[in-house]
Amino acid sequence: MIGFRKHRYLKGESGYLGNVRDLLFKAWICCEQRNRGLTMATRTQILVRGIVQGVGFRPYILSLARNRDLRGSVLNNETGVLIDVEGEEDEIERFVADLPINPPPLSNIESFTRTDNLPIRSFRDFQILPSVASGPKFIPISADISTCEDCSRPGKWTESAIISAKRLLD
């Protein structure tokens, strides 16, 4: 340890910052933790809006998160896709920066909002969770690229199948 006397303090813009020895020790601990990969985790929630449901967006998020060694979950909700991510702050920043770079071809990110510094939940890994629906729904849907051969086959769709599909969509 560096030998500073206890009565030596540093003064900052907002007053005294504390004992010099304690401050240097805290800085040293922080550097050691970062070098050993023991830095503090943080948690962020990101709500992505746009054409992000039914286009492979959740598996895309899962892949991005696992590549960055982040933990948490992703799910569809009534307004878009909700990402709850936990890990190193710099990795979360890179994750957020990567979101719009190479999304699934049919997706279209219109906007996203984020909430930082949430209480840590200590997720074990990153998972895709089932969709949640509670509240008013507004979800843009991507138009199909084209109808597949099987669906365009004559006689494929009977009257009862069309009625059943309409009920599911209502």
Tally of domains in the chain: 2
pTM of the entire structure? 0.60
Could you read off the pLDDT of 88-109 as tens digits, one per residue? 999 999 999 999 999 998 889 9
At 54 the pLDDT is 85
Range(s) of the domain holding residue 110: 41-128
Single-letter amino acid, residue 169 = L
* Residues 106, 46 share a domain: yes
Which pLDDT band, with edges at 50, 70 and 90, does 15 fall under? very low
Residue 134 lies in a domain: no
Give CA–CA dist 23/20, Å, rounded: 5
Q: What is the mean pLDDT of the chain?
A: 74
What percent of the chain lies above the pLDDT cut of 70?
55
pLDDT top residue among 142 and 106? 106
Can 76 be counted among the known catalytic residues? yes
Name beta bridge partners: 51: 108
pLDDT top residue among 95 and 36? 95
Region of residue 7 (phi > 0: left; psi between -120 and 50: alpha; otherwise: beta): alpha
CATH number of 70's domain: 3.30.70.100
Which pLDDT band, with edges at 50, 70 and 90, does 32 fall under? low
* Residues 50, 114 share a domain: yes
Could you read off the pLDDT of 44-60 as tens digits, one per residue? 999 999 989 888 999 99
Residue of 43, 58, 68, 71 with catalytic role: 58
* Residues 115, 48 share a domain: yes
Which pLDDT band, with edges at 50, 70 and 90, does 131 fall under? confident
* Residues 46, 114 share a domain: yes
Please give the structure tokens belonging to residue 87. Answer: 């890990």
Can 19 be counted among the known catalytic residues? no
Residue 159 lies in a domain: no
Which pLDDT band, with edges at 50, 70 and 90, does 22 fall under? low
Backbone angles phi, psi at 149, to 5 degrees: -60, -40
Residue 165: CB atoms within 10 Å: 11
* Residues 56, 33 share a domain: no
Which pLDDT band, with edges at 50, 70 and 90, does 81 fall under? very high
Residue 53 lies in a domain: yes
Which pLDDT band, with edges at 50, 70 and 90, does 7 fall under? very low
Say if residue 153's pLDDT is above 90.
Answer: no
Residue of 43, 68, 71, 76 with catalytic role: 76
